[in-house]
Each structure stands twice: as C-alpha cells, then as structure tokens.
Amino acid sequence: MRLYDTLKRELNELKPIDGDTFGFYCCGPTVYGPAHIGNFRTFVVQDVFRRVLELGGVATKHVRNLTDVDDKTIRDSQAAGKTLTDFTRLWTEKFHTDCAALNCLEPHIEPSAVEHIPQQITMIEELIENGHAYAAEDGSVYFKISSYPEYGALSHLEERELDLGRTQEARANNSDEYEKDSVADFVLWKSRRDEDGENFWQSPWGEGRPGWHLECSAMIREYLGDSFDLHSGGEDLVFPHHENEIAQSKCSCGGDFAAHWFHITHLLVDGSKMAKSKGNFYRLEDLIAKGHSAAEVRYTLIGAHYRKQMNFTLSGLHAASEALGKLRKAERALAEKAGVTDADAPSYEELLGLKDLGLFDNAWLGLNEDLNTQRAIGAMFGALKRAQNEDNALVQWKGLHFILHALGVQLPEIVEDASVEIPQEIQKLAEQRWEARAAKDWAKSDELRDELKAQGWIVKDGKDGWSVSEL
Ligand code: AMP
Ligand code: ZN
C-alpha cells in the first residue's frame, strides 16, 4: 500500500519496520462531550486504513489514546458536578457506542493519559536531564524549543511566515488550547492551580498535571517503542501537537519516532467550519434523530479522498441512502445469479485468502494507492454494472464483499426502490415527520404522514430512520 507522508510530502510504500506487525498510533478523542462527525471523518478513515492493511495480509497493532485530563475535561467535569473519572468514563462509553455504530474496529490498545502519569513524569525527568526542558518558579516545566533545532520539520515551519524569534525566548504557553501560529516553549507539566480542584498528581516539581502534548509521546513509547511505523490524526494536529510530540520523543527516547505521518483533512459542514454557534454542528445522534442511519454517515464520510476537503450536507446523506439501496439491490442480483444468500457471505478468513477479486480489483487498487476511497467506490459501482454480464458471478460476488469489508460498508437490511428519485419536498416532509415523532408530537406526525400520502408517498419507520416509497 502507498500512502502520502506529511513530512516527506510524497507517497511512501508502507512496510512494517520489524518485518512483521505494522504498529500505528492515532491521537484519540478528548472525552469531555460527544465526538462530532468531523472527528469521525478522521476515525473512520483510520479504520479503513487499518482494514486495507489487514486485508492486504499485514498484521497491525493499532493504538489510540483517550485524552481524559486537560483544560476542557477538568472544566466541564466541574461544571457537571462529577469527578474527572466519572465524567470522562461517561463520554468514553458514548464514544465507544458511536464507534461501534459506525462499524469501526476497536483499537488493539486504548491507553488513557490518566493511567500513564508516571511514564509522563519519567519523560520530563529525562528531558530536564538532557537540557531540553526547564522548571519554572511556579513548578511548571517547559520544553525548550531552542534546544531542538529540527523543530518544525513536520509542519514545514521554515516555509511559513512565523515569528521564529520568539522560539528563543521562554515565552511560556501554559494552555492546552494552542494558538495556531505561536511557536513557543510549551508546557510539559502544569503546576496545580485553584481551578484544577482535586485533579492533580505529585511530581518532583510539586503538585500538578501533565500538559496535553506529553501523553501521546509517553504512551507511544510504552506501546510502540521509540521507532514505530505510522502516526495519524486530523490535519489540525500537525502543528503544534505533532511537532511537540516529535520534539519530546526524539529528545528523550532518541529513536526515529514515526516513520510515516498520515493526516486527514478536516470535514466542513455546509461549506464552513463546524461550530455550535453556526448551527452546523452535528453529532451522530443528531443525524440519527433526523432519520439517517450510522451506515449512511460512514458511507458519506468516506465518499471523498481523505486529502480532499469534504463538505458535509444533509442532502449528501440522502444520496448515501440511495447509493446504499442501489448497492444492496445490485448485490442481491449478483447473489441470485451466483445461487447464494446472505448466509453464504464469506467469512473474514475466507476474504483474507481471496486471490481473485474479479472486476473489483480496480477498487482494491484505488484503496492501495493513497487510500483513495472515492476512487474505490466509483470503481465498485462500475464493476457492479459489468459484473451482471460475467459468467463467474460467484467470483464477482466475493470480490464485492471483499471491497465492502475493506470500506467497512454495511448494506441496509431493507431493499428500497432506489431507482425512484425522492423529490426534495417529500424528503423535507418525511424529515419533519421524523422530527415530530422524535419529539413525540404524534398529532403532527400523523398529519405529515397524511400529507405525504396525499402526495402519493408512503412513509415507513425503521429502527433508526425513515424510508419513503411511492404508493
Ligand atoms: P479531539 O477530540 O478534538 O482531540 O479530536 C479527535 C480527532 O478528530 C483528532 O484527530 C482531530 O484532529 C480530529 N478532528 C477534529 N475536528 C475535525 C474535523 N472537523 N474533521 C476531521 N477531523 C477532525
Ligand atoms: Zn497525540
């Protein structure tokens, strides 16, 4: 498989350094509220990445952390009147439920920052000893950027017009919420402040807690070692989070750190950045309440190549619903021709050993060339069109299942008549009806059902969404 590397700015052939298992680390969620669908673009793309490696015969070790201590988790746990542990446990469970609904494989290891305080303290001690960090009077410890001349290689700092002069000063950035273009010594250990409440640990520098960037470096060292295969996150993490990780790890452990950097472009909603204030902020549950399924959300999130900007819209979700319906119909037709049913669907072991993907090899090539999900989906539909005219229906049907597994796409249970275009006003009425139903406004829901009927459409309620068909 070839993948674009943010650091080298070229496609790299991926091979495990140890010749056996491909170890990779994904920066995980900050568990202070439900993850939004932007976060899930990143996590779903990382999931497809892992599936493609594994189906290609490469064993993986997938480590994804939980950020369960930082400014936001502390602030919001206090506002909720809960202990940090209880509060972050709640949002961790919610995150797991959403990941499962989106058909994401569980990482092999999911370490949390709070569970690795001693490892973080050890790393700071080493950095101080090596002259890369210093303690301030208040007991906070900072990484000294001027001690690491390679700082900024990943984000190509030298090409950006930043005030590099400031790196020479100890202009301490004491916040987890980083400023985009501030290059400054960053905090490794934050001395205890009143607003931290009971959330502090003992250290050689007094009571306090680790800075946000440090946890990933410490957990990577623990689970993947000083040199490992790949590191991933959303594009916002390139600077400064990943730059800081590189600096901390290389200056303490001395290894090569990540051999490859894989960043996912941010998801936009209705053409702009997702923000609660703009009303374009969606969580999975918001979309389910609007009558969409998690499978549609996943399908939408992988609809564009991960390096392209992607614009999320509700009408895009409807298109996903239609595409999944069409996919199911075509899959059924192929299965009938091959004389098989759902019960015969190939097991994972069988997929692993599959040599002949039939017409679907083009889709597989797309996935192996910079994880081009967009190209793979296009090629899959192209292959489906032609597969009906081939003699080897069973080979084609298995090839299709191979690609579906690689994409993590689950086909809908109910076959809708996807060939019928649903007019926008009908979609709108059905959506309003689903919302009325969710709000238990039965009178309005019935009224809207009658309205749809009067216009020649019948609405059906599924487990997690609506569907309409012509009367
Ligand atoms: P957080 O919970 O904020 O630490 O973010 C979890 C992951 O989601 C990180 O890899 C972020 O880079 C990523 N992320 C945040 N916002 C977006 C977005 N709008 N689109 C894609 N990925 C995002
Ligand atoms: Zn990280």
The CATH number assigned to the domain holding 223 equals 3.40.50.620
Asked whether residue 196 carries a pLDDT value surpassing 80, the answer given is: yes
The pLDDT of residue 395 is 97
Asked whether residue 193 carries a pLDDT value surpassing 60, the answer given is: yes
- Shared domain check, 123 and 258: yes
Asked whether residue 465 carries a pLDDT value surpassing 90, the answer given is: no
- Shared domain check, 429 and 350: no
Both tokens of 13, joined, read: 């052939």
Rounded distance between C-alpha atoms, residue 425 and residue 283, angstroms:
24
Mean pLDDT value across the chain: 91
Q: Which of residues 192 and 174 earns the better pLDDT score?
A: 192
Rounded distance between C-alpha atoms, residue 409 and residue 404, angstroms:
5
The pLDDT of residue 170 is 37
Give domain status of residue 418, yes or no: no
| 31 C-beta closer than 6 A to ligand 1 | no
How far does the centroid of ligand 1 lie from the alpha carbon of residue 95, in Å? 13
How far does the centroid of ligand 2 lie from the alpha carbon of residue 217, in Å? 7
Give domain status of residue 341, yes or no: yes
- Shared domain check, 351 and 244: no
Closest CA to 410 of 291, 297, 295: 295
Asked whether residue 171 carries a pLDDT value surpassing 60, the answer given is: no
Q: How confident is the model at residue 175 (pLDDT cuts 50, 70, 90)?
A: low
Asked whether residue 176 carries a pLDDT value surpassing 60, the answer given is: no
| 213 C-beta closer than 6 A to ligand 1 | no
- Shared domain check, 358 and 253: no
| 39 C-beta closer than 6 A to ligand 1 | yes
Among 264, 287, 308, identify where a domain stops.
Answer: 264
How far does the centroid of ligand 2 lie from the alpha carbon of residue 63, in Å? 11
- Shared domain check, 146 and 25: yes
- Closest ligand 1 atom to Cα of 268: 19
| 23 C-beta closer than 6 A to ligand 1 | no
Please tell me the residue having the least CA distance from ligand 1 atom 8: 39
- Shared domain check, 368 and 226: no
The pLDDT of residue 172 is 45
How far does the centroid of ligand 1 lie from the alpha carbon of residue 98, in Å? 15
3-class SS of residue 209: strand
Mean pLDDT (whole number) for 99-116: 98
Task: Note the pLDDT tens digit of each residue in 229-275.
Answer: 999 999 999 999 999 999 999 999 889 999 999 999 999 998 888 87
| 113 C-beta closer than 6 A to ligand 1 | no
Q: Within its chain, how far is the Cα of 338 from the centroid?
A: 36
- Shared domain check, 452 and 352: no
Question: Is residue 123 within 8 Å of residue 210, measured between CB atoms?
Answer: no
Give domain status of residue 412, yes or no: no
Asked whether residue 180 carries a pLDDT value surpassing 80, the answer given is: no
Give domain status of residue 166, yes or no: yes
The pLDDT of residue 375 is 98
29 alpha carbon, closest ligand? 1
- Closest ligand 1 atom to Cα of 29: 2
Please tell me the residue having the least CA distance from ligand 1 atom 6: 29
- Shared domain check, 221 and 350: no
3-class SS of residue 2: strand
Give domain status of residue 234, yes or no: yes
The pLDDT of residue 178 is 42
Q: Say which range, 60-69, 177-186, 197-206, has the weakest mean pLDDT.
A: 177-186
Both tokens of 275, joined, read: 């923000």
User: What contacts 286, CB < 8 A, 6 or more positions away?
Assistant: none
| 327 C-beta closer than 6 A to ligand 1 | no
Cα–Cα distance list, 425 to 14, 47, 467 (Å): 48, 36, 14
Say which DSSP state 416 is in.
Answer: P
CATH of the domain at 357: 1.10.730.10
Give domain status of residue 312, yes or no: yes
Please tell me the residue having the least CA distance from ligand 1 atom 12: 234
Asked whether residue 317 carries a pLDDT value surpassing 70, the answer given is: yes
Among 206, 239, 264, identify where a domain stops.
Answer: 264
Task: Note the pLDDT tens digit of each residue in 393-404.
Answer: 999 999 999 999
Among 208, 234, 264, identify where a domain stops.
Answer: 264
Both tokens of 408, joined, read: 């993590």
211 alpha carbon, closest ligand? 2
Give domain status of residue 270, yes or no: no
- Shared domain check, 217 and 280: no
Which amino acid type is present at position 48? Answer: V
Q: How many domains does the chain have?
A: 3
| 120 C-beta closer than 6 A to ligand 1 | no
User: What contacts 425, CB < 8 A, 6 or more positions away?
Assistant: none
- Shared domain check, 279 and 260: no
- Closest ligand 1 atom to Cα of 26: 10
- Report CA torsion sign: 167, 169, 172, 173: negative
| 76 C-beta closer than 6 A to ligand 1 | no
Asked whether residue 418 carries a pLDDT value surpassing 70, the answer given is: no
The pLDDT of residue 419 is 59
The pLDDT of residue 463 is 64
How far does the centroid of ligand 1 lie from the alpha carbon of residue 451, in Å? 41
Structural domain containing residue 115 = 2-264
User: What contacts 47, CB < 8 A, 6 or more positions away?
Assistant: 102, 103, 104, 105, 408
Q: How confident is the model at residue 167 (pLDDT cuts 50, 70, 90)?
A: very low
Q: How confident is the model at residue 158 (pLDDT cuts 50, 70, 90)?
A: confident
- Shared domain check, 104 and 58: yes
Task: Note the pLDDT tens digit of each residue in 34-90.
Answer: 999 999 999 999 999 999 999 999 999 999 999 999 999 999 999 999 999 999 999
- Closest ligand 1 atom to Cα of 233: 10
Closest CA to 367 of 321, 320, 319, 402: 402
Q: How confident is the model at residue 422 (pLDDT cuts 50, 70, 90)?
A: confident
- Shared domain check, 24 and 98: yes
How far does the centroid of ligand 2 lie from the alpha carbon of residue 242, in Å? 7
Please tell me the residue having the least CA distance from ligand 1 atom 1: 29
Task: Note the pLDDT tens digit of each residue in 343-355.
Answer: 999 999 999 999 9
Rounded distance between C-alpha atoms, residue 360 and residue 12, angstroms:
24
Mean pLDDT (whole number) for 221-226: 98
73 alpha carbon, closest ligand? 1
The pLDDT of residue 168 is 39
Cα–Cα distance list, 341 to 334, 335, 337, 338, 417 (Å): 10, 6, 10, 9, 20
How far does the centroid of ligand 1 lie from the alpha carbon of residue 38, in Å? 6
User: ω before 34 within 30° of 0 (cis)?
Assistant: no
Tell me whether strands 230-234 and 457-461 are parallel, antiparallel or unpaired.
Answer: unpaired
Cα–Cα distance list, 365 to 72, 371, 382, 388 (Å): 42, 9, 14, 21
Q: How confident is the model at residue 165 (pLDDT cuts 50, 70, 90)?
A: very low
Say which DSSP state 241 is in.
Answer: I
Please give the model's pTM, rounded to 2 decimal places. Answer: 0.86
Give domain status of residue 416, yes or no: no
